[in-house]
């Protein structure tokens, strides 16, 4: 469980940073290569950390798309030529806020 707590914290930190970047707006994302690269890297961190979580923790929260989070990381790392920048943007503004709340609740429960 200790390792899960650390990984969940990595996910939460990356999600927070991703939301901060997204709050700067789509124009910055579109026009600033460094911002796009940073946001892409944060999605990779989220995916990698989610893959490292225990099966027990993931089974206890089936509403969180753990498999998809890991799959996104694989696409970004191994099939980067197929990655779409707008997919990263959509993850940041649509998926992360909802998922972050759920993961925060899990982290609060196991980190005490």
For residues 11 and 50, the answer to whether their CB atoms sit within 8 Å is yes
pLDDT for 1: 64
Select which of 7, 33, 36, 73 is catalytic: 73
Q: How much is the pTM?
A: 0.91
**Token pair recorded at residue 107:** 């982290």
d(CA 50, CA 62): 13
Active-site residue, 41 included: no
Q: Which residue has the higher pLDDT, 55 or 74?
A: 55
Closest to 88 measured CA to CA, from 21, 24, 8: 21
Active-site residue, 100 included: no
Select which of 33, 36, 51, 78 is catalytic: 78
Which residues span the domain enclosing 103? 2-110
Percent of the chain with pLDDT strictly greater than 70: 96
Q: How many domains does the chain have?
A: 1
Q: Which backbone phi and psi does 60 adopt, to 5 degrees?
A: -80, -10
74 pLDDT exceeds 90?
A: no
d(CA 72, CA 69): 5
How confident is the model over 4-56, as pLDDT tens digits? 999 999 999 999 999 999 999 999 999 999 999 999 999 999 999 999 999 99
């Amino acid at each position: 469980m200790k390792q899960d707590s650390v990984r969940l914290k990595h996910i939460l930190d990356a999600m927070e940073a991703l939301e901060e970047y997204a709050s700067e707006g789509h124009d910055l994302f579109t026009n600033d290569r460094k911002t796009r690269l940073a946001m892409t890297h944060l999605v990779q961190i989220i995916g990698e950390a989610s893959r490292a979580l225990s099966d027990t923790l993931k089974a206890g929260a089936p509403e969180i798309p753990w498999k998809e989070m890991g799959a996104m990381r694989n696409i970004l790392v191994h099939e980067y030529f197929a990655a779409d920048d707008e997919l990263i943007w959509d993850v940041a503004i649509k998926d992360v806020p909802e998922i972050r709340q759920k993961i925060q609740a899990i982290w609060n429960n196991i980190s005490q």
